[in-house]
A and B are shown apart, each in its own frame.
Chain A
Amino acid sequence: AQTVTQSQPEMSVQEAETVTLSCTYDTSESDYYLFWYKQPPSRQMILVIRQEAYKQQNATENRFSVNFQKAAKSFSLKISDSQLGDAAMYFCAYRSGIQGAQKLVFGQGTRLTINP
Chain B
Amino acid sequence: SQTIHQWPATLVQPVGSPLSLECTVEGTSNPNLYWYRQAAGRGLQLLFYSVGIGQISSEVPQNLSASRPQDRQFILSSKKLLLSDSGFYLCAWSHRVFSTEAFFGQGTRLTVV
Chain A residues engaging chain B, CB cutoff 8 angstroms: 6, 33, 35, 43-45, 47, 50, 52, 91, 95, 97, 100, 102-109, 111
Contacts and interface: CB of A to CB of B under 8 A. Distances in A.
Contact of A104 (B38, B46, B96): B46
Contacts of A97: 100
Contact of B101 (A6, A47, A108): A47
B101 A102 contact: no
Contacts of B13: none
Interface residues of B, number: 24
B49 A103 contact: yes
B104 A45 contact: yes
A108 B104 contact: no
Interface string B54-89: 000001000000000000000000000000000010
18 contacts: A33-B101, A35-B101, A45-B104, A47-B101, A50-B100, A91-B43, A91-B44, A97-B100, A100-B51, A102-B49, A103-B49, A104-B92, A104-B94, A106-B46, A108-B43, A109-B41, A109-B42, A109-B43
